[in-house]
Each structure stands twice: as structure tokens, then as C-alpha cells.
Amino acid sequence: MQAARIVEVNEPLEVTQLETPKPKGSQVLIKVESSGVCHSDIHLWEGGYEGIGGQLLKTTDRGVKYPLTPGHEIAGIVDSLGEEAEGFTKNEKVLVYPWIGEGVCPACRIGQENLCDKPRSLGVYRDGGYAEYVLVPSYKYLLRIDDGMDTNASATLSCSALTAYGAVKNTNLKPNDNVVIIGAGGLGLMAVQLAKAITGAKIIVTDLDDEKLRVAKKNGADNVINSKKEDPVKAVLELTDKVGADAVIDFVNASKTVETDMQLLRRRARVVLVGLFGGELKLSLVTMPTRAYKLIGSYTGTLSDMVELVSLATRGVINPVVSDTYKLNQATEALSKLKDGKIIGRAVINP
């Protein structure tokens, strides 16, 4: 089989020929039809994240090993099954849950494998979906999807939508609350749809790109702010009767955006940090208790969350935005375009 692999960080991905895996035990081999392109793939490609003082937090220090086939948003069809795999048959259309844990840590034991102490996620710690086939460790990480569902859109449910869903849940929003969503990329647009569908909150979106904000408005945002053209703090306060937002979801999570987040809040507000841009943050420590802020990190979502998402997508409650499609030999181009902020919604690789 062919796979687009990160062989050296910051170098173009190499399309290489690999032996097609043969599933054993409860394993299942999936023929990949769609693999979403995620910002976290860029960090794998670059070899790290920005830490405190500009220090590079290396992916290899987190246990990532190269060469690596990235790609964790995977939809396709069942090709073959190990002798212990059950519940699925050849040629069934499926979505893969990629946030796999080692199974015995406290998080795994309560169904939160996405927060495992020793994660084994596909496309991060194991070879993923930038390939013609992917080996899934167990049939329990597969969800059947309707033949009528768009495969490209379905793939994005396993990270873009799932991460947005987890973030929206962490806000604990109530009807008529005000939530500010920072960033109108693939995750931000999904968060708009999900917040609209399940919370009843008033949604304000900020970004630097008018076209992305136009799409955010189309997807359900009540108000949009181009923070390059106007003061987002002043604009949010005006939209919230000078009170501030009940919650902020930051899909960028850079030093500057989070500094701004902290100025948008009413008392008792929650800031949910999702993006992996990185950096550092100075906090007014007295303000944290006196205003009872909650600062929350949110990472992807659980398998049960993804079951709920598939139901929402099947019923048309949410509709993932896929704007760009690529082949395996265009993987570097896809990552570069995403890094430059030129993709609205989600890009997908079709091996």
C-alpha cells in the first residue's frame, strides 16, 4: 500500500510503499476513503509545539516516533477482520475513533481513553490515515455510518467535530448565555453548529478573515467580529450589555488570544482552551478567585461523544464543512495551505 509519511520534520512528506497490514485477533483493516487534515498534523510535521519563552516542546518527548503516517480523522470501508473481530462485515462503511488508550489507566477505565496516561492514538503514536489502508487495533473503535452520508464530511467527525463537541460541553452553557468562539476554522465552525444545536446560547465568533466570518455567520453565529479591524474586547462588551461573556472557547490558544480571552469575561465565566498554537500566559491571580473564573483545558472527546455526533450528523443537525480535497501526493500542499490559514472549514485527503 501507499502512505504519505513524515520521515524528517519540516521536510515534504514522502509517499512510500509499505506492506499492507494483515489484521489479527480483534484488529480490523480499513480501506481509507477520507482522512481529514488537522492542525495537530502540522505540529507533528514541524516536530513540536511552542512552549514557555518560545521553547520548542518536541513531539518526540511526548513519545511520537518517526517515520510516521499522520491522519487521525479516518472514514472508509472494512477490508478484512481478525479472527476475534465481530459486529462488522467486509465492505461496511465505517468511521474510526482514533483516540486509543492503553486500557488500564484511570481515564481508560471510565471511558475517557482520549485522556489516557499512555495514549496510542492513530495518526499520532501509531500510523494513521494518510494511507490507502489503516490497521485499527480493535473493532470496538469503529462506528457504522449510513451509506448516504458523505464520507469526507464523516471523517471530520472523529476530531474536528469531536473536539468542538467536547469543548462546547465543557462550557456548561445555558440558553441565552453568551459564548465567544475564537477562530472560525474547521473546529470553530463545528462549535458554532453544535452550540446552536444543543445549548441555546448566543454565539459570537472572532477571527481575522472576513470570508471565514461570513461562513461562521452562515453556520449559525449570531454576531461576528474581525479582531484585526475592531477591538474585540470593546465589541464583546457592547454585545453583552457591558457584562461580558459567560464562556470563551479558544480554538487558537496562543498567548495573545488568551490574554484577550481574559478581558472578555463576566464573573463566574469559563475559558475553554483547545488550540495547540502554544506560548505562555500571565494571569492576575487575585482576579481568578474574586471573579470565580474557570480555566479549562479540553482535548478531543470520548467514544460515547462520537456516537452522539454520528447521530446528530445522520439526522442533519450538524453538517461538517469540507472545502478542499487532496490526493496522497498532495499531503504537503494540504498541510502548507492549512498552516497559511487558506482553508475554510476542513481539508480531506482521499488516498
Rounded Cα gap, residues 132 and 20, in angstroms: 9
Burial of 211 per CB tally in 10 Å (0-12, 13-18, 19+)? exposed
In this predicted structure, what is the pLDDT of residue 129? 98
> CA 1, 41, 77, 102: dihedral to nearest 10 degrees?
100
In this predicted structure, what is the pLDDT of residue 315? 94
Angle (deg, nearest 10), helices 160-171 and 303-314: 110
Residues 6+ apart with CB under 8 A from 112: 302
Closest alpha carbon to 135 in 325, 3, 301: 3
Rounded Cα gap, residues 216 and 47, in angstroms: 31
What pLDDT, in 10s, does the model give residues 127-150? 999 999 999 999 999 999 999 999
In this predicted structure, what is the pLDDT of residue 54? 86
8 Å CB contact between 317 and 190? no
In this predicted structure, what is the pLDDT of residue 53? 87
| Predicted TM-score (pTM) of this structure | 0.95
CA-atom Rg of the chain in angstroms: 20
8 Å CB contact between 7 and 14? yes
pLDDT tens for the chain, 351 residues long, are 999 999 999 999 999 999 999 999 999 999 999 999 999 999 999 999 999 988 989 999 999 999 999 999 999 999 999 999 999 999 999 999 999 999 999 999 999 999 999 999 999 999 999 999 999 999 999 999 999 999 999 999 999 999 999 999 999 999 999 999 999 999 999 999 999 999 999 999 999 999 999 999 999 999 999 999 999 999 999 999 999 999 999 999 999 999 999 999 999 999 999 999 999 999 999 999 999 999 999 999 999 999 999 999 999 999 999 999 999 999 999 999 999 999 998 999 999
